[in-house]
Chains A and B, each alone.
Chain A
Amino acid sequence: MKFMKIAAAIGLAAAALATVSTTAFAQTVDEIIARGKLIVAIDTTTPPYAFLDADLKPTGFDIEVANKMGEALGVPVEFVTVTSPGRIPSLLTKQVDMVVSIFSITPARAIQIDYSIPYAGQSAVVIAPKSTEIKSHADLVGKKVGLTRGAAEDAILTAAAAANPGIEILRFDDYPSLMQAMLSGQIDVMGGGDYGEIYLKKSAGGDDFEQKYPLKTFFFGIGFNKEADDLRQWVNTWLMIQKADGVLDALSMKYRNQPLPALPVF
């Protein structure tokens, strides 16, 4: 008897949870407007895309994109903080309407969730002093190339060094050591994210550096539950207009000091 009561209680609780999660989730634009808010998953540990400002309010590139979307729909945005591995589960369990959080588009992820067209992108690039003439891997021969152990650049440049004998690879444990090596001239070239030179430029003599060529570009899409076709269609339409009006490039200049890479569509 007691067991039955506990089971019933658990069943009720589960039903209540299920109700909460279904009411939180909206599949169509109409449902979002009727509900009066847009629920967006973010990760506030990804500067300059999403981070907490001095007042501990979320800010950054992704946050502004989400807020502009809310404005266009005429509803406020409610942010739900997730970790990077928590992004797909938050969509599958219908806790949020969408994920706007440097969500790189990969075929493996697209098996479980749907993506909007790319709204941003980031490249791993080769950075060197302006006076150094570098256009491709072949120009790295005879140079000391620094990188962060295990970063995306590591695999690409290690393969380049294997194909072009004479490239010396120096692996550092973290980004500050890598930048210090670049600034003190211990390396000739470094691999890093395309916003890396923002940080170099803050250092003495940092103005002498520039991006040489991209290694690989990652494209970010907004993530949806596979049932949310209506909403995704509206977001794609909205993104197309934002791209055409230069809104996304302006945001990129504001947070990344440079325009976005060319964004493909699908």
Chain B
Amino acid sequence: MQTALQFGPVLVHFDRLMHGVVQTLYLSFWSIILGAIIGILGAVGRSFGPRWVSLPIAAYVELIRNTPLLIQLYFVFFTLPLLGLRFSSHTAAIIALSVHLGAYATEILRAGVESVSKGQLEAARSLGLKPYRIIRHVVLAQAVRAVYPALSAQFILQLMGTSIVGAIAAEELTAIANNLVMDTFRSFEVYITIAVIYFVLIQGASLFFAGLGRLLFRWKV
């Protein structure tokens, strides 16, 4: 019986764990970019669009926010193929993660959009700004700034959320760690190691978003 922690058998596979880190960052990066785009379009569409635009967006937000991410992953990977839409594990993971984040980002950004006072919109219109410019420079710039902390917290949750995509056979840090557990039978050591890696990744992401916030929002209010 070996009960003492032995990290040697785990750390010799450090290259595999680093491959997992790259995959985790890849999934996070693309799903955050796509999710943010969905969120911006969703928030603007829900606040300013006609009913036939805002109602489907509201339905999408409610549907996604009231179902678990794991079920959304299963749906994209196992159910869509029956309708003829077939994606690889990785693509399916990015789609499900983006759609998931998009719903939350829509709600967060909508709160920001609605925090911009009606008076500013009227002022912009009376200055003769085109609708696109009003949304881009008057509404969104202020909305993103107002909800930036909530938005970046959601992005970081997304990074942690990637840890369950092993369920549809996508390779990322947690799935690779589970493979390592089966190879080395050193579950404690493997999970402690990836906990440390996740901690570093998430701290790094927090610092990155804080720095990005400072860079983007230098103007005075």
Contacts and interface: CB of A to CB of B under 8 A. Distances in A.
Interface of A is mostly: mixed
B45 to A, nearest CB: 32
Interface in B98-138: none
Nearest to A151: B182
B78 A150 contact: no
Given A149-B179, A173-B167, A185 B86 contact: yes
Contacts of A150: 178, 181-182
A71 B89 CA distance: 54
B78 A172 contact: no
Name which of A173, A185, A186 has the most chain B CB atoms within 10 A of its CB: A186
B185 to A, nearest CB: 10
B153 interface: no
A180 interface: yes
A171 B176 CA distance: 10
Contacts of A171: 166, 169, 175, 178-179
A181 B78 contact: yes
Given A150-B182, A184-B79, A186-B77, A177 B175 contact: no
Interface residues of A, number: 14
B5 interface: no
B167 A177 contact: yes
Nearest to B92: A186
Contacts of A186: 77-78, 81, 86, 89, 169
A121 interface: no
A180 B73 CA distance: 13
A170 interface: yes
Contact of A170 (B81, B169, B182): B169
Contacts of B74: 180
Given A184-B79, A186-B81, A170 B89 contact: yes
B73 to A, nearest CB: 10
Contact of B169 (A146, A154, A185): A146
Interface string B70-88: 0000100111011000100
A184 B80 CA distance: 9
Contact of A149 (B86, B168, B182): B182
A173 B79 contact: no
Interface string A69-113: 000000000000000000000000000000000000000000000
A171 B79 CA distance: 18
B201 to A, nearest CB: 22
A185 B81 contact: yes
B68 to A, nearest CB: 15
A10 B181 CA distance: 44
Interface in A148-179: 149-150, 154, 170-173, 177
A112 B190 CA distance: 33
B78 A180 contact: yes
A142 B181 CA distance: 28
Contacts of A177: 167-168
Contacts of B78: 180-181, 184, 186
Interface of A: 146, 149-150, 154, 170-173, 177, 180-181, 184-186
Given A170-B169, A173-B178, 8 more contacts: A149-B179, A170-B89, A171-B178, A171-B179, A172-B168, A172-B169, A173-B167, A186-B169
7 contacts: A150-B181, A150-B182, A170-B89, A170-B169, A180-B78, A186-B77, A186-B78
